[in-house]
Amino acid sequence: MASIYDEFAAIAADPHTDWDTLHWIAEKYPELRPAVAENPATYPELLDALRAIGDPEIDSALARRHSQPRTPVPPETAAGSGGPARSAKEGSSSWWIATPEEATPSPPVETTSDAEEEWFGFGSSDSDSFTAPTPTPAPGETVPPSTGPARRRRPSTSRLLLAVALPLVALVAVAALVLNLWTGSDAAGDSSADTSAVEAAPPDAESGQSATEESELGESEPDAASTDEAETPPTEDELRDTVAALPEESSCEAAEEDRAALTDFGATAGEDAAWSDPADASLVEETLLALQESCGSSHAARIYLDLQGSAEDVPAALRATVESMGPAWIRTGFPAQGQPLESFAAPGGNVVCELGDALRCTVLEHSFSAPEGCTGGVTYAIEVDRAAEPDCGDPVEPAGQPELGYGQTASNEFFACSSFQSQMSCWNQLTGEGINLSASRNATY
């Protein structure tokens, strides 16, 4: 199967690729510059910069570019593809890929935050000092700087809800203030009347308390029976219904909440390493598969790893069911076929990595600024549901690691790393998110 590097090669040759991404690939991957040069979507400034390098392969790609006719593009793919603008010839129903002079600058891609730039140590490439130029904007327009392919994010409605909720809250507050001012005098009169009624009420013969005082005490002290009823734990059938409803009712934002529902069910319905009802094992398996459909493979993988791990709160019956499933049911969107190594080192030994429930890599010697708290090397970690971030508290042991040669790949069920002369590239096979590691720079993608 193709690695993430092969994905970049396909993107470099795709005429639907936007300018920012072509710009980024030309800077970061010198070996893909011929593909960028031959791509009919590449803008003139970038073509001039590539031509100035004087590389024979790039020059051949530029020559092939002029010998190829324009490729017609169907109307349904002319808009919304994220690539150069498409337009229709006047007086014609055919469509074609517009030249960079005709194209509208592509929308900005999501950029890396200042904090990420600081601790990932952005800098020049190991292999080349080439800097791709930005396209010349049309009058009145701007083209944003390139930072590489944008990450996918789940759509959010929080801003829309905030815009609707704030005016409503303000309106309710004004209405409440007016009503309070309008009825203030009447409330004062009622208060004095209530005070007189309390003083006039005769005391109870036995307790010495008035009937009104007893009524008020009764309202402030909850009945013991109602308190016990509120604290009654859910029944086994109720917990079973909760687990069955998880795929539809999960927020898909907190895997620990779904894990807790499964754990509570296993603690009630399990008897040692067996279920009280054998059908409950199938219910757990069906729920995890359905959670993958509704919330994605990262969410389901996080629950799977937590339930079959070493946590002591996982009931034995639930753990046995999850372990029997294995990880094969978890879908990988960016699979790799590599050597089944648990740990390895790049040629030269400066980058060492280990693959397990998480991916961890340590750069021993580096020229970039290390994140706060990192000394004697910088360690990064990637989890199934979390992008790469510094984690210097647990560095990878550099001694005795087998070498992963240039062009080779190592992988397990969830993560993979490919060794290149300029860097070590590691990624999450479920999401495609990863990090490039070298002595001079480290950048996420």
Q: Check if the beta carbon of residue 302 is closer than 8 Å to that of residue 385.
A: yes
Residue 343 half-sphere exposure toward CB, CA atoms < 13 A: 14
Q: Check if the beta carbon of residue 325 is closer than 8 Å to that of residue 395.
A: no
Q: Kindly state the average pLDDT of the residues 113-122.
A: 43
Q: Which of 19-23, 181-185, 217-221, 295-299 has maximum average pLDDT?
A: 295-299
Q: What is the dihedral of CA 190, 196, 200, 201, to 10 degrees?
A: 40
Q: Is residue 355 very low, low, confident or very high in pLDDT (cuts 50, 70, 90)?
A: very high
Residue 41 half-sphere exposure toward CB, CA atoms < 13 A: 27
Q: Kindly state the average pLDDT of the residues 18-25.
A: 88
Q: Is the pLDDT of residue 298 over 80?
A: yes
Q: What is the C-alpha to C-alpha distance for residues 102 and 85, in angstroms, rounded to an integer?
A: 8
Q: Is the pLDDT of residue 433 over 60?
A: yes
Q: Is the pLDDT of residue 61 over 60?
A: yes
Q: What is the pLDDT of residue 345?
A: 97
Q: Check if the beta carbon of residue 433 is closer than 8 Å to that of residue 151.
A: yes
Q: What is the pLDDT of residue 18?
A: 87
Q: Is residue 364 very low, low, confident or very high in pLDDT (cuts 50, 70, 90)?
A: very high
Question: Which of 82-86, 158-162, 255-259, 441-445 has the weakest average pLDDT?
Answer: 82-86
Does the CA dihedral 264-266-272-278 come out positive or negative? positive
User: What is the share, in percent, of the chain residues with pLDDT greater than 70?
Assistant: 62
User: What is the share, in percent, of the chain residues with pLDDT greater than 90?
Assistant: 45
Q: Is the pLDDT of residue 143 over 90?
A: no
Q: What is the pLDDT of residue 174?
A: 67
Q: What is the pLDDT of residue 131?
A: 66
Q: Kindly state the average pLDDT of the residues 269-296.
A: 91
Q: Kindly state the average pLDDT of the residues 224-242.
A: 77
Q: Is the pLDDT of residue 169 over 50?
A: yes
Q: Kindly state the average pLDDT of the residues 322-333.
A: 93
**Number of helices and strands in the chain (H, E):** 15, 14
